[in-house]
A and B are shown apart, each in its own frame.
Chain A
Amino acid sequence: AQSVTQLGSHVSVSEGALVLLRCNYSSSVPPYLFWYVQYPNQGLQLLLKYTSAATLVKGINGFEAEFKKSETSFHLTKPSAHMSDAAEYFCAVSDRGSQGNLIFGKGTKLSVKP
């Protein structure tokens, strides 16, 4: 069965600094991977997804993620953090063994200091 591990429940960066949010997956088949963002008391919004095309995926708001099969990772990065990036971020894998449902990590809360 597929699973997702997000390293670090809280990450704090300074405005303008690099953002790196880590995600490792476990899957017996080639995975489909997703990053979602959630602002307080709101639903989730898709940032980007990997569907076995290019390994470097660009998303909205300047975020990107690289699929590394050898490391079973799909880390999310942004070169320069903005105050508006403060939110909770979820990595998810598509459970292709169970009708394509998403399996979510526990989330990483990103804080951005001025």
Chain B
Amino acid sequence: DGGITQSPKYLFRKEGQNVTLSCEQNLNHDAMYWYRQDPGQGLRLIYYSQIVNDFQKGDIAEGYSVSREKKESFPLTVTSAQKNPTAFYLCASSIEGALLSTDTQYFGPGTRLTVL
């Protein structure tokens, strides 16, 4: 089955630690995205990548980093510089991204990160 997988589903982190959230897709999509979801605030874009080896900051990139070494993978690292990292993180992908504004974004099941 084609789709997007995120792991782990739940993640606990101590203050001051970096953690990496995994996102993998087998849909052969060019574009991938990371969103942060907080209650009552909808989804906010952290980073996006339209093509391998290229990525752009979204609206709330501070304290996060990403890489896009392979088409199917777009891991997100939450660094110790992120002041309030407890949230639900969603990864998404779309066929062509910027080239087609009508693209549907397909979402993974999410990772819930809690800082202890």
Contact = CB atoms under 8 A, between A and B. Distances in A.
Contact of A102 (B6, B40, B105): B105
Interface in B16-68: 33, 40-45, 48, 50, 56, 58
B102 interface: yes
B90 interface: yes
B47 to A, nearest CB: 11
A106 B40 CA distance: 6
A80 to B, nearest CB: 26
- Give the bracket for the number of chain A residues in contact with chain B: 20 to 34
B102 A51 contact: yes
Given A90-B43, A106-B40, A46 B104 contact: yes
A100 B100 CA distance: 7
Contacts of A100: 97-101, 103
B85 interface: no
B107 interface: yes
Interface in A4-44: 9, 32, 34, 36, 41-44
B98 A99 contact: yes
A94 B98 CA distance: 10
B101 A104 contact: no
Which 5 residue pairs are nearest across A and B when measured between Cβ atoms? A43-B107, A99-B98, A100-B101, A106-B42, A51-B102
Interface of B: 4, 6, 33, 40-45, 48, 50, 56, 58, 88, 90, 92, 97-110, 112
Interface of A: 9, 32, 34, 36, 41-46, 49, 51, 90, 94, 96, 99-102, 104-107
